[in-house]
């Protein structure tokens, strides 16, 4: 439900995924939802920071296992204290935007220091004002978010009804598959999108909680890996898509072209060069390339969707590494196409 605000009217809604491998029903549903959400675009933008949903990550500040309805989720959000909201803000800024705020207090020096830090950041103008508002009165903004989302409950239920049966069926078959194949259905997705250390951390966890996405059936989020308990958000069609991709013609021309399209974008190319040299801080990438953090976040998502970079989920801050095998496959396919 909170991921609903992630929808947008865009031809790149599915990133670098190959459309012919997607379920037509998913594409149609995405278009219908984004059309209905278009009227709320300005309101939704208030809860997005640098293209990341600030409130989606609040899921891990509440007892997620006890939530069974949208109303219960909003009630849990409304009950979060200012201290919990401040802690979430600090963690979000450090992990997503590589921005460390000074220790919070009520002195004028603190307010001045925070103002200077945010003003000098690579956030765009609207993000700076949203951040100021969150820091000034996080409870007020939180309540605005909860009130807004309450109005979207009918829209969410309307579309979730279409996929609820599929979520339940897929859940049962996935559980059975995990019991009999020792998590091998996840091996491919982990190898494609995570660095080896992060994948190993998930596989070694004593407990893995799977949160299945029905409306967001091609989206996935890897969150909080640990030796004890890890959480994986998984769209119910992600593994099917990757299975089809794995069976797709080797070095398929269309898939290969997405690599070169990414490389033809000047900013994205420079981002890859910096990551190859060991730098993947959103803040530093934005500063070195002279663009906003939101622009860097967008490019990182596209590179990640196309599997040109892998995510290090073990790092306290979002870190990426080049997926060398993906680049080698694309270059080998180009050589083959040109008969070199």
> Up-side HSE of residue 251: CA atoms within 13 Å toward CB?
12
Is residue 174 very low, low, confident or very high in pLDDT (cuts 50, 70, 90)? confident
Question: Could you tell me which residues come within 8 angstroms of residue 198 by beta carbon, excluding any fewer than 6 positions away?
Answer: 190, 222, 225, 311, 312, 313, 314
Between 98-107, 277-286, 320-329, the lowest mean confidence (pLDDT) is in: 98-107
Between 50-59, 215-224, 229-238, 294-303, the lowest mean confidence (pLDDT) is in: 215-224
Give per-residue pLDDT as tens, 78-88. 999 988 998 88
Q: From start to end of the chain, where are the E strands? A: 48-49, 52-53, 207-213, 220-223, 229-235, 309-312, 319-322
Which residue's entry shows tokens 């299945």?
A: 212
Q: Give mean pLDDT, residues 201-221.
A: 82
Output the pTM of the full model.
0.79
Please check whether residue 298 is in contact with residue 314, taking contact to mean a CB–CB distance below 8 angstroms. no
Q: How far apart are CA 16 and CA 12, in angstroms?
A: 7
| Mean pLDDT computed over every residue of the chain | 82
Q: Is the CA virtual torsion 68, 70, 76, 80 positive or negative?
A: positive
The total number of residues shown for the chain amounts to 340
Q: What is the pLDDT of residue 221?
A: 67
Give per-residue pLDDT as tens, 60-75. 788 888 899 999 999 9
Q: What is the pLDDT of residue 106?
A: 55
Q: Which of 243, 269, 260, 245 is nearest to 333 (CA)?
A: 260
Q: What is the pLDDT of residue 145?
A: 93
């Amino acid at each position: 439900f909170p991921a609903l605000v992630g929808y947008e009217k865009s031809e790149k809604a599915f990133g670098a995924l190959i459309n012919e491998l997607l379920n037509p029903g998913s594409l149609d549903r995405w278009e219908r939802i984004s059309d209905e959400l278009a009227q709320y675009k300005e309101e939704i933008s208030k809860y997005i920071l640098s293209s990341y949903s600030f409130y989606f990550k609040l899921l891990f500040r509440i007892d997620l296992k006890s939530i069974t309805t949208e109303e219960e989720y909003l009630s849990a959000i409304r009950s979060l204290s200012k201290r919990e909201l401040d802690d979430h803000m600090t963690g979000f800024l450090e992990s997503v935007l590589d921005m460390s705020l000074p220790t919070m207090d009520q002195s004028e020096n603190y307010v001045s220091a925070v103002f200077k830090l945010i003003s000098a950041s690579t956030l765009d103008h609207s993000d700076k004002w949203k951040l100021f508002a969150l820091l000034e009165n996080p409870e007020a903004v939180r309540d605005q978010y909860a009130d807004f989302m309450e109005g979207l409950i009918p829209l969410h239920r309307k579309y979730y009804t279409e996929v609820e049966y599929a979520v339940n069926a897929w859940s049962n078959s996935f559980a059975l598959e995990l019991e009999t194949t020792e998590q091998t259905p996840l091996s491919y997705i982990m190898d494609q999108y995570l660095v080896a250390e992060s994948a190993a951390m998930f596989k070694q966890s004593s407990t893995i909680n799977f949160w299945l996405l029905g409306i967001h059936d091609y989206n996935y989020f890897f969150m909080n890996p640990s030796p004890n308990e890890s959480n994986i958000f998984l769209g119910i069609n992600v593994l099917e898509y990757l299975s089809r991709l794995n069976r797709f013609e080797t070095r398929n021309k269309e898939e290969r072209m997405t690599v070169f399209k990414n490389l033809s974008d000047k900013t994205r190319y420079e981002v890859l060069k910096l990551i190859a040299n060991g730098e993947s801080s959103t803040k530093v990438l934005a500063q070195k390339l002279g663009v906003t953090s939101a622009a860097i976040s967008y490019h990182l998502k596209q590179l990640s969707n196309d599997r040109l970079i892998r995510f290090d989920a073990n790092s306290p801050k979002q870190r990426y590494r080049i997926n060398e095998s993906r680049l080698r496959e694309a270059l080998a396919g180009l050589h083959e196409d040109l008969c070199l």
